[in-house]
A and B are shown apart, each in its own frame.
Chain A
Amino acid sequence: MSQLVFDPSKVMDIDYTQRTEYLDGLEAIKAAHKVLKEITYTPSLPDKGYTNRTLYVNVGTHEITEKPVTQQMKDVFIGGRGFGLYHLWNAVKSTTRWNDPENEIIISPGPVAGMTQYAGTGKSLVVSLSPQTDIPIDSNVGGFYGPLLKFSGFDALELQGKSDKDIILFIDGVKGIIRIEEAPTDPVDSHVLAEVLTHMYAENEKDLPNISVVSTGAAAEHSLIGMLNFSFYDRRRKCVRFKQAGRGGIGTVFRDKRIRALVVRGPKVAGDLNHPADPETIAKTGIKFHKEMRENDGTQCMMRRNGTAHIVEIMDAYDLLPVHNFQYGSHPDVHKIDSSYWQQRCTQHTVDGCWYGCSMACAKGADGLVLKTGPYKGDMVTVDGPEYENAAGLGSNCGVFDPDYLLELNFYCDTYGICTITYGTLTAFVMECYQRGILNKERTGGLEMTWGNAEADLEMMHQMARGEGFGKIAGLGVKKMKEHFIKQGWGDPQLINDIGMENKGLEYSQYMSKESLAQQGGYALTNKGPQHDEAWLIFMDMVNKQLPTFEDKAEALYYFPLFRTWFGLNGFCKLPWNDVVPADNSSQPEAHKVPEHVQNYVDLFSATTGVKIDKEELILQSAKVYNFQRVFNIRMGKGLRLHDAAPYRSLGPVTKEEYESRAERYDQQIITEMGLDPAGKTTEEKMALHRQWRTDRFSKLMDSVYTRRGWTLDGVPTLARLEELGLDAFPEVVDVVKQHL
């Protein structure tokens, strides 16, 4: 029960300078590059957070154009995810699919991004039509690319078209050059490619931190779950590290366009580059937050020491850690992969952030990992993380509790360009199918996918990167694997559908939702699919009992998704909102919203842009983009009630063993919630009662949430709601909605 205390003497003594380097072939790779198109432009810095122009690049035709940022774009879409959705809407038709040339990848940092006075201000948002869901996906990511793009003169980068050869897009924001280069011999995997390109485009040693590379890896070419790595240069370790835009397969779109990498060379970062309207307020707000971090973090989440991995043991203690494909919520071996171990394994001795000025500094580096498998076997590498999602997804959810194997899985996911969350959930599904006889050695091509078999797990990943064998099937994701297994007649279709943890085609992230109705909605009633960045309500609902009625849950599923959407419009990281709180937070009304931090965000936006807002206006800003995205989904043939359906594993116990592991709780619910007597009933009979009760209440939750959001019971925003939000100014948006009313 006592909080973990950090003991510096236990940190492993690893010489991280002994890392394997990959620069030997740099000159030959550079010599093979061929300029396909080059233009010059006038670099500029932002004014009040905006550069007021975006960059359009067609990688097929080599068209390179600047576009103005209009006042309407700022008023309605703000930036970041909003700008991404706006550009994507204008680029595609309702019939466009992910691999059509008109699909775009848009990267936009948002008006606040790049600020260095407050924590968590280096984020950018990546938007595209997803190969997994066929609707827009948005993925937020740290690293330097987004802020350096803005400081090179652009509020967003639109990538459209398809190249017929591998290319690199280089933006030199110092010299004012934009160049498309053919890159015929560049390395494929991110940890090699980004190291080579960072050194290739930096003019000297001091210039290395001014370079950022966006790349993916071999698996993005052979799967639908490809991810993008955004690099940042670690001056202390003298190496390139990454943050990931993971969800939804944007890396797959990237490689389908034959983009090998994006490289930006920005100006040297300084505190005044964003040119805010009111720098004094920003400085004052930042100093207040940094003091809070310094004084409180050590007795709160210990983010500076543990990062998000601090909740591995917390989730385990509350029976919420996904174990064995979300069947169970805790495991006796979790201590092998919890933060007490990572404190020893992650070797930073100072703050370690993914953007300048972040005092939360939750990035972590595990150095000196010697790889046991794959094409880089024997190499010594630095691995970022693992963050909570990686430890839970690659670890407990698959029964892998060997920390070095977990790091190796994490490393290969990163360098191959695979989303760790997606990979964790799909592998857990494969393993459960194997354990239940839906899969066997013959069907997996010899892979023995039993719980905890990390070697088979890694081999499946290497196959995915090579586009071979069962790994290629796994790379289609859970939704398509379910369809494939059922088509082959390999098992009971209902069981396969129940245990495959996807909604809208996207895999669930790593929290157990079956005992929290609000979190079931927090996952399934989302725009892009089940990612916890819209709403994380498990404690409020299941532990605190703060949301007793459907209306209470609906209110939480109105407020929190909108509040959290706002981070992605502006370039903020979510973590400094509530992974540390002011010392007097507990005495504030609505302490769970962290009211002082909400006011900080209001102040930071107003002080950056000069547009005065309050906390109600903040929610309204998000509501415009959120509802626009919902209509976008409907335009693409999804976005209705039927598309919000959840797999039963996320709602309740699918199997006898799951029921019996929590029999006391479930039997009690039969008495108190259903008014029935469980005595004398078989487990199967009790499971059937639960299924009826749980699916009914999920349906009632949908009704309540849709009503609160101003949507019809089919999940369509009403015309009145569009008018309230000013979205009726877009006739195409109104037309889409009218077809469904």
Chain B
Amino acid sequence: MILVNEEPLNWHEGMTVRDVLRARNYRFPMLVIHVNDTLVQKKDYDTATIPDGAVVKVIHLISGG
């Protein structure tokens, strides 16, 4: 289990940042993502894996209007 923006999400071996975004349907293109307080660059979303128990923060930058 991991926490994504304070809400639990089932974890699986090899889970990447991209998997988290897909699971949460986070489609907004401008994100700032930290895994256990470490920034993950956009180019690494497909390869950066997430450990079990991780705290993931997906900050959506304000847009709209």
Contact = CB atoms under 8 A, between A and B. Distances in A.
Contacts of A533: 65
A581 B42 CA distance: 13
Given A1-B21, A545-B6, A586-B39, A299 B29 contact: yes
B41 interface: yes
Nearest to B6: A545
Contacts of B41: 586
Contact of B61 (A1, A308, A311, A592): A592
Interface in A403-419: none
Interface string A587-615: 10001101000000000000000000000
Interface stretch (A80-88, A144-152, A267-275, A536-544): A536-544
A586 B31 CA distance: 8
A511 B64 contact: yes
A3 interface: yes
Given A299-B29, A300-B30, A301-B29, A592 B64 contact: no
B59 to A, nearest CB: 5
Number of chain B interface residues as a range: 20 to 34
Interface string B22-65: 10011111111100000101100000000000000111111111
Interface in A525-564: 532-533, 536-540, 543-546
A343 to B, nearest CB: 15
A672 to B, nearest CB: 11
B5 interface: yes
Contact of A1 (B6, B22, B58): B22
Given A301-B29, A545-B5, A591-B32, A532 B62 contact: no
A539 B65 CA distance: 13
Number of chain A interface residues as a range: 35 or more
Nearest to B31: A586
A578 interface: yes
B19 to A, nearest CB: 10
B38 to A, nearest CB: 11
A473 B34 CA distance: 52
Interface string A632-674: 0000000000000000000000000000000000000000000
Contacts of B57: 544
Interface in A285-324: 299-302, 308, 311, 313-315, 317-318
A614 B61 CA distance: 23
Given A1-B25, A301-B30, A546 B59 contact: yes
A574 interface: yes
Given A388-B64, A511-B64, A536-B65, A300 B5 contact: no
A594 B61 contact: yes
Contacts of B30: 300-301, 578, 581
B63 A3 contact: no
Contact of A317 (B5, B25, B63): B25
A389 B60 CA distance: 20
Given A1-B22, A591-B32, A578 B63 contact: yes
Contacts of B42: 299, 586
B59 A3 contact: no
Given A543-B60, A546-B59, A587 B6 contact: no
Contacts of B58: 543-544
Contact of A509 (B32, B61, B65): B65
A456 B6 CA distance: 46
Contact of B65 (A299, A540, A574): A574
A100 interface: no
Contacts of B22: 1
A207 interface: no
Most A Cβ at <10 Å: residue of B27, B29, B30, B41: B30
A416 B31 CA distance: 40
A532 B64 contact: yes
Interface in A128-181: none
B27 A536 contact: no
Nearest to A531: B65
Nearest to A548: B6
B29 A539 contact: no
Nearest to A594: B61
A579 interface: yes
A532 B65 contact: yes
Interface in A557-586: 574, 578-579, 581, 585-586
A558 to B, nearest CB: 15
B28 A539 contact: yes
Contact of A539 (B21, B27, B62): B62
A139 B31 CA distance: 30
A314 B59 contact: no
27 contacts: A1-B22, A300-B29, A301-B29, A301-B63, A308-B64, A308-B65, A313-B27, A314-B27, A317-B27, A536-B62, A536-B64, A537-B62, A539-B28, A539-B63, A540-B62, A543-B5, A543-B26, A543-B58, A544-B57, A544-B58, A545-B6, A574-B65, A578-B63, A586-B39, A587-B39, A592-B61, A594-B61
**CB-CB nearest 5 A-B residue pairs:** A539-B60, A586-B32, A532-B65, A317-B27, A545-B6
Interface of A: 1, 3, 299-302, 308, 311, 313-315, 317-318, 388-389, 509, 511, 532-533, 536-540, 543-546, 574, 578-579, 581, 585-587, 591-592, 594
